[in-house]
Structure 1
Amino acid sequence: MTTALFPGSFDPITNGHLDIIKRASAMFDKVVVVVGINNQKRGWLSIEDRVTLIKTAVELLPNVSVMATDGLIVDLASQLNATVLIRGVRNAMDFDAEKSLATFNRQLNSNVETVLLPTLPEFESLSSTRVRELYKFNIPLAPYVPQSVAKFLKQKRDFNEE
């Protein structure tokens, strides 16, 4: 049984992330989406909201679970007996960064392989950063994030405007 981790900040999860999760869930027995906690950065959404939004987005994928960690991904992989790290790549710049990270992670834990999944063309320009910018300018988010995320962010905006 192969367990794969898909780490990221997911601030918020996008349709590009969800596509990678769906594809990984078809490839591996178990996929754990891991929201990384970076104590040096203040996230846009809380860790709890990110985890909840991802859980809602993947609820129809029975072999996918979601958790958060503030530790090293390779250490978590050892704890969960995961042997694969999933990373999405949108372009050559992503590939170079992810290749370097994969090499570093392999040095830290030689039992973990990184699998790079190329993003589908329709998601190549999509990122959480761009979603946050669209939100700032009140652009509808439905084409870019799962429906539950778009609904949550609309409610967040409506609440903040009251």
Structure 2
Amino acid sequence: MRTVVLPGSFDPFTLGHLDLVRRAARIADHVIVAVSHNPSKRGALTVTQRLDVIEQTLAAEGLTAQASARALPSGLLVDFCREVGAQTVVRGLRSQLDLAYEEPMARMNDHLAEVDTLFLLTSAQYAHISSSLVREVHALGGDVADMLPPASAHALGPCPRPTGEDAS
């Protein structure tokens, strides 16, 4: 069984992330969506909430036989890959900037443990979506429902009312 790991913070899990899971599932027997906690980012959802959202989404999409979600422990990604028997990491690329960020990590994972990285270009309709932009738009009162699976939209909750001088 060929297992791949799709790591990320997934805060929130977007339609772009779901697209990557679907596409990775076409080329692997099993996709582990590995949810990390990045202490340098201010998150909207806890790791437990993100895992729940991803599991709900996978179930709603009929993907539970091909994909699952797990918390990524602190430490090296390659150690997690060894633990779950994966020799490949899958990463989505929206732009050349993403490649510039991802390439050194991919080379290090190969150097440390011969873990390959498979880059998938983001589908065009999702190329403008990132979790950080979704969080920002949502925090400023914008509607992000069309960028998220229903479970993610529900977990984020309704758009907060804008505050400040322009709020009425």
Which letter maps to 1:74? Answer: V
**Count of aligned positions:** 157
For 1:119-158, list aligned pairs within 5 A: 119-154=122-157
Deviations 1:89-129 (A, max 9, x none): 0001111221221001111111x110000001111111001
Which letter maps to 2:93? Answer: V
5+ residue gaps, structure 2, are: 162-168
Q: 2:78 matched to 1:85?
A: no
Q: 2:21 matched to 1:21?
A: yes
Which letter maps to 1:144? Answer: M
For 1:13-162, list aligned pairs within 5 A: 13-59=13-59, 60-61=62-63, 62-69=65-72, 70-110=74-114, 112-154=115-157
> What CA RMSD, in Å, does the superposition of the two structures yield over aligned residues?
1.7
CA distance in 1, matches of 2:68, 2:102: 23
Task: Kindly state the Cα deviation for residue 149 of structure 1 after the two structures are TM-superposed.
Answer: 1.1
- Using the size of structure 1 for normalisation, the TM-score is 0.90
Secondary structure at 1:10's aligned position in 2? Answer: coil
Is 2:49–2:155's contact at 8 Å kept on the other side of the alignment? Answer: no
Which letter maps to 2:120? Answer: L
Alignment identity in percent? 35
5+ residue gaps, structure 1, are: none
Task: Kindly state the Cα deviation for residue 56 of structure 1 after the two structures are TM-superposed.
Answer: 0.9
Which letter maps to 1:118? Answer: L
Secondary structure at 2:101's aligned position in 1? Answer: helix
Task: Kindly state the Cα deviation for residue 43 of structure 1 after the two structures are TM-superposed.
Answer: 2.5
Is 2:78–2:113's contact at 8 Å kept on the other side of the alignment? Answer: yes
**Structure 2 CA distance for partners of 1:32 and 1:103, relative to 1, 3 Å:** same
Task: Kindly state the Cα deviation for residue 39 of structure 1 after the two structures are TM-superposed.
Answer: 4.0
Which letter maps to 2:156? Answer: L
Task: Kindly state the Cα deviation for residue 57 of structure 1 after the two structures are TM-superposed.
Answer: 1.1
